Amino acid sequence: MSNELTAAVFALTSEKDLPREIVVGAVEEALAATYRKQYGTIPEVRVAMDLDTGQFHVMGKKKVVIDVRDDRTQISLKDAQDLPDPGGLGDEVEVDITPSDFSRIGAQSAKQAILQRIHEAERDLLYNEYADKEGELLTGVIRRVEARGVILDLGRAEGVLPPAEQVARERYRIGQRLKVYTVEVHRGVRMPQIILSRSHKNLVKRLFEVEVPEIYSGVVEIKAIAREAGSRSKIAVAARQEGVDPVGACVGLRGSRIQTVVNELSNEKIDVIQYDEDPARFVGNALSPAEVTSVSIDGPNKRAEIVVPDGMLSLAIGKEGQNARLAAKLTGWRVDIKGAGAVGREDSAAVSGQEDPVPATVGTEVTP
């Protein structure tokens, strides 16, 4: 049995890429549990395995006494003197209590326990490795497409891209390489459960960190992100260092940097916005690519009334209100967008006190 166990330890450390001390520890614990179950004589027992010789020894503690009444838990003072660490009268000493038939008895019962503990060690090792990657960007290869989600090979483990974290307009195929955002990592019963996302807004953040050295180094900071996955995102950036253009850094020479991110996101449109501490300027910037005539801020109600040229109204609102909706999410302000001509008619009606038979305000209000 010893030779078989030694061969199994070396095979597992190589095949599973587990540290040898973890495998040896699992074997020793499993054999100790087998001994306690089979003999049940000494509660404090451990198994020491020698990989050089392939031998193992069951070690248990006994109390040093003058007159031995129970040889399962006691050892005479005379016999204790022959031990490497003899101890004195009344002390507890560690004694080799390996039964002569333990190899035969323990072989079968220890096998399953050893395998179970090896699996637990492998699971814990993988969990610890990937738990640190929660919130990070990973690259995986699609191995299977199942009802519960798309299964990606991440190298040493598999992750799942559930339907709720997928992008509706994306099509996933076996063998496809994907960059994904790590949402959660759970221990799982057999292996760690790694939940991935292609729709999370922080996927955009991590991709920009990879492509823009100024963001990675902290010279440029991402202040906020609003995303409608697969369609459009807005990202607000600010420079921490004087003289740095944060928007230009993200866009790159001839749009090279932002185009790489767009390509990774299956041609999702991305607006890079200049962040501003002044809410009026920030809200105005957030409506890009539309030009803004004026912004009025209602601080207590966190509401911004924005006036744009009449020709820019549809652009400011966006298709099905998307541009205004993303601007509201990005800034955290309720936005009320109006065309300049409509505001003029509204003002005239207010001044004259006459009712305007045509609605005075043409625009939209969006809540973040």
Q: Which residues, 6+ apart, have CB-to-CB distance to 313 below 8 Å?
A: 337, 338, 339, 362, 363
Percent of the chain's residues with pLDDT above 90: 48
The larger pLDDT score, comparing residue 160 to residue 26, is at: 160
The pair of structure tokens assigned to 46 is 């451990």
Query: Rounded to a whole number, what is the distance in angstroms from the first to the last CA of the chain?
Result: 67
Residue 97 to residues 2, 111, 152, 153, 293, Cα–Cα distance (Å): 16, 21, 49, 47, 89
DSSP code string of 45-113: EEEEEETTTTEEEEEEEEEEESS-S-TTTEEEHHHHTTSSS---TT-EEEEE---TTHHHHHHHHHHHH
- Tokens 């990657």 appear where? 133
Q: What is the pTM of this model?
A: 0.72
The pLDDT value given to residue 361: 34
Per-residue pLDDT of 235-281, as tens digits, reads 999 999 999 999 999 999 999 999 999 999 999 999 999 999 999 99
Q: Report, as an integer, the average pLDDT of 325-340.
A: 91
Percent of the chain's residues with pLDDT above 70: 84
The pLDDT value given to residue 139: 96
The pair of structure tokens assigned to 248 is 């230009």
The pLDDT value given to residue 354: 31
CA atoms within 13 A on the CB side of 226: 20
Looking at every residue in the chain, the average pLDDT score rounds to 84
Per-residue pLDDT of 46-55, as tens digits, reads 888 777 776 7
The pLDDT value given to residue 28: 81
The pLDDT value given to residue 104: 63
CA–CA dist 343, 267 (Å, integer): 37
Query: Is the bond preceding 163 in cis, omega lying within 30 degrees of 0?
Result: no
- Provide the pLDDT confidence category of residue 130 given band limits of 50, 70 and 90: very high
- Provide the pLDDT confidence category of residue 193 given band limits of 50, 70 and 90: very high
The pLDDT value given to residue 5: 64
All domains of the chain in start order, with CATH: 2-130 (3.30.1480.10), 134-192 (2.40.50.140), 200-275 (3.30.300.20), 285-368 (3.30.300.20)
